[in-house]
A and B are shown apart, each in its own frame.
Chain A
Amino acid sequence: MKHDGVVRTNSVASTEGGSTKNLGTHTTRSKVGKGVIKRARCISLRLSEVYIKEYGGVELKGPTLIEGLPDVGLVGVISSAFLVDQLKLIPYGHVESELLPPVMVLHNAELMHPLRLYADKEGSIVVLTSEIALPPTMLMPLAYAVVDWAVRNRVNRVISLNGYPVPNRLDLEKPAVYGVGNGKDAVEYLRKYGVEVIEEGFVAGFYAMLLRETARYRVDAMALLGQCFPKYPDPGAAASVVSKLSEMLGIKVDVKPLLEKADEIKLSMKDLMRQTEESMSGSHKVLEEYLPAMYR
C-alpha cells in the first residue's frame, strides 16, 4: 500500500451490464482529501493503473461524455477547451496515472492536473480534455478506465470530437464532419443529424479504443471527425465539429469566437501539436490512411 491512502492492488475487475463484478482480489473506493478515488478497472497483465478522481459537487444524470483529447489537428482539444469555456463548465475531476508524464499545469497560480474532467451544473454533460499529449502506452488503460467510469456513472452516450486529415484542407472553406459509430444505434443517431458515416477504413488512437470498449459494455458511442490539417491545430475544423455537436445535443454554442481567434489558438497550441505529432507516431495513427484488406 502506498502512502496516499489509495489501495493499489493488481486486481482484475470488470463492469458488465452496469454493475461491477470482481474477477480478482477486490476493488477499492478510498477517500483521499476532498475527492473520492474510484478504482478504475485494472488488467493485471498490464500492471498499469489509471484512476479517475471526482471532486463531487455535481450529481450526474445520465450524462453525455464528450471526449476531446489530443489527436490530428488538435480538433478534440480545441473543441473541448472551447466547450468548457462557452458552456461555463465546472471542474468535475481529473485522471491520475503513473503512465502520465510527471507534469502539472499552472493556471492563475492554481496547480492543476493536465488531464481533466468538466461538467455542467445540471449533470448532463461531462467533458474530458487534456493539456498534454498522451503517451501511446496510456491510450488503452485510459480507455478502460474511462469506459469503466462511464458505465458506473450511467453515461448515456459517449461522443469523441476529433479530426479527419485531408490533403486538400487548404481549399475547404467549411470543413465537413464525418462520423463513426460503435453500433447500429450510434450510426442511426449520426445519420439522423445528417452526419455522413464512414463505412470502410481504419480508425486509430484513443477514440478508436473508446469506441471498442464502449461497444463491449453496450454504451452508445460515436466520433465526430472534422476535415482538418493533419499537422497544424485547426480551429476551423473544431468549429464544424462543435456546430454539429451542439445540433445533436440541442445546446446553443456560438462558434464565431473560435474562428475569430483562430490565429491565436493556432499559435498557442503549436507546442502541443508538436508533442502530439511525436506521440501519434507510436500509436499506429498512420493506419488511418490505409485501406482495410478485408473485402465485402
Chain B
Amino acid sequence: MTDVSLGIPQMPAPDYPADVRARLESDAREVIARYPGSRSALLPLLHLVQSEDGHVTRTGIRFCAEMLGLTTAEVTAVSTFYTMYRRKPSGDYQVGVCTNTLCAVMGGDAIFDELKQHLGVGNDETTEDGKVTLEHIECNAACDFAPVVMVNWEFFDNQTPESARQLVDDLIAGREVRPTRGAPLCTYKETARILAGFPDTREGAVEASGGAGPASLAGLRLHRGEAPARVVGQRAESPTDTGDASVEDGE
C-alpha cells in the first residue's frame, strides 16, 4: 500500500467484472433472503466479498452498498469496526497466535515471538510469498487447550514454539495441514465463504477431527472412571486419523 493521500476524494470504486458481479449477486440474494431486514445481511456480505478478494476492497464495499441500498460510507463504517475484515491484501493462511492473558502466560507470547522471528514479519504482516499473514489474536474460547494458535480460524491446540514453527513451514511448503479441531485447511478466501453462510461442501469436512477435543472430555472421562485423556495433541496425527471416526462407533 503506497497510496499517497492528497486529501482529494477518491473516484468511485470500479465495479466487479460482469461475470463476477452476476455470481456474487446471486450469492448475495440468497444471503439477504435469510433475514427479515436486508441490512442484517451486511456482515455475511462483507465475508462474501472477502471470499472473492481476500480482503475488503473498495469494489467490495460498493457491491455491499448497492445490494443493500446503503451508502459506501455506511458500509465502510461497519467493515472497519470488526477485526475479521481485512483492510489490505493478506496471505492465504492467517496465522493467529492467542496472546490474551491465559494463552500468553502459558506460552503464547513465546510462540508469537518465535514466529515473528522465524517468518521475519511483524504483527499483521504477510510473508513475501503471500502465504502467511501473522497476527496476535484475542481469547478464542479454547483456554483449556492453551496455548492456542488459529490458522484460518481452525484450532491448533496445545502449541509450542517448535510445533508452531513446523506448522508455518508446512503451510509455506504447501504440505497438507490438519488442525487438532476442525477440517483440513482451506484458503482464507474459502474460509470466508463459509463465514458468509455457505456450508463447507468438502467431503469429510464436518466430521474431521472427530467429536470433542481431549480437554473437553476431562470431566466426562473422570465421571466414567476412565483414565485421564492424554493431554497434548498438537496436530491431527495423520491424514487417515480424521474423517473416518464413524468406523469406531461401537455403541
B is bound to A: no
**Chain A residues with a Cβ under 8 A of chain B:** none
